Amino acid sequence: METLSSIKLSRRTLIATAVSAGLIGTKFATAGDSVSADEKEKGPMGLVSVYDFGAVKLHSYMAPSFSAVVTTQIIETASELHVIDAQFVQSIAKEVRAYADSLGKPIAGVYLSHWHPDHLLGASQFEGIPFMTTEDISADCNRNEMTYLKRKEQFNDDTVLSLPKGTLQVGNNDWDGVKVVVNQINDCEAEHTLTFHIPEVGLMIVQDLMFNNAHSFPLGNHTNWISTLETIRNTEGLRLLGCGHGLPATTGAITDSIAYLKFQKAVFGNEKDAESASTALKLAFPHYEGQDSLRFISALYK
C-alpha cells in the first residue's frame, strides 16, 4: 500500500431497460465483470493519500482498477474516525478496515454516499459499527437488495449483506467537535447522493459527483449533474474534493469533470450506436480508468 441523449428517460427506466436487454442483469454496479474470484488475498493493493488539514486529516483510499478505482474516504478527527463508503470487493474492504484500524482511533460511523453496489458491498467488514445514510438512500438500498445479492453471488462473496439505516440527518453534523455539513443531491449520477463539507478546512467529499481521471457513469442526468458541479465550484473557501473514483482533486478538476460530462452527453446525441459512443470516449480520454462502466451506454441505444 502506497501513501502519499436526447432520450428523455429516467435513470430507473434506463437501468430497467439494461436489465431486460440482458446487459447488466440484476448485477448493476459501476464496475464491469472484470472482478473475478481470483482476486483474493494478494496483500496491499490500494493507494492511500493523506492530507493533513490540522483540525482533521483525510485518508483517501483508492482501490485498484479491477475494483473500479472506488475511493473510500476516512475523516480523522482528534479522537475518532468517520468512514465514507465501504468499497466493492471484500478483499479491498478488508484492506480499508485494516488501514483504518492502523490509525489507532475508534471508527465512530460508516456513511453511504449513494446506493450503488460498488460503494456498499464491503460494509460487512465494519460489522458492529453504525452504518448510516439518509432515509432516501436507505430506501434506495432496500429497493435494490436483490441487486446486491446477485452481485455477491457473482463474486462468490458469502459475507452477510449489510444495509445502512436511514438515521443520518442532512445539515450540520458534529463529528468530534468538527462541523460537517451533509447535503443530499438528487438526480445526478444516482437518484440521491450525499456530500460532506467541512468548511473549516475547505474540504468537501463529493464521491460519485466527480470521477477523477476516470470515466463517469453514463446513465446519469447530465443536465442536473453539470449544474450541481457548477454550484460546488462556487463554494467559498473550497480547497480539496474527495472523489468517488480516483484520487482527491483540487477545485480546478471540477472544470475538467464538467467538460467530460458535456462531451459524454454530446457523444450520446451524435453517435449512432453504443459501440461508436464508447469508442469515441475512449479515444478522447485514452488514459482514463473505469472503461468497464462504459458498457452501460448500451442501455441508451435500446
Closest by CA position to 143, among listed 167, 110, 166: 166
Find the range with the poorest average confidence among 26-30, 207-211, 255-259.
26-30
* Distance between first and last Cα of the chain: 42
Q: Is residue 130 part of a domain?
A: yes
Per-residue pLDDT at 295 exceeds 70: yes
Q: Is residue 6 part of a domain?
A: no
* Domain boundaries, position 184: 11-301
Q: Is residue 3 part of a domain?
A: no
In the chain, the number of structural domains is 1
Q: Can you state the percent helix, strand and coil of the chain, rounding each to 5? A: 35, 25, 40
Confidence of residue 7 (pLDDT cuts 50, 70, 90): very low
CATH code: domain of residue 266: 3.60.15.10
Q: Is residue 286 part of a domain?
A: yes
Between residues 10 and 129, the one the model is more confident about: 129
Per-residue pLDDT at 36 exceeds 70: no
The DSSP secondary structure of 177-205, one letter per residue, reads TEEEEEEEEESSSSSEEEEEEETTTTEEE
**What pLDDT was estimated at residue 139?**
98
The Cβ of residue 224 has, within 10 Å, a number of other Cβ atoms equal to: 14
Rg (CA), the chain: 18
Per-residue pLDDT at 189 exceeds 80: yes
Report pLDDT digits (tens) over 79-91: 999 999 999 999 9
Q: Is residue 165 part of a domain?
A: yes
Report pLDDT digits (tens) over 140-175: 999 999 999 999 999 999 999 999 999 999 999 999
Q: Is residue 1 part of a domain?
A: no
Residue percentage of the chain with pLDDT more than 70: 85
Q: What is the mean pLDDT of the chain?
A: 88
Per-residue pLDDT at 182 exceeds 90: yes
Find the range with the poorest average confidence among 99-108, 176-185, 241-250, 292-301.
292-301
Query: Per the structure block, which three cell numbers stand in for 290?
Result: 473505469
Q: Is residue 94 part of a domain?
A: yes
Per-residue pLDDT, averaged over 103-131, amounts to 97
Q: Any idea of the CA torsion for 181, 202, 100, 30, to the nearest 10 degrees?
A: 70
Confidence of residue 43 (pLDDT cuts 50, 70, 90): low
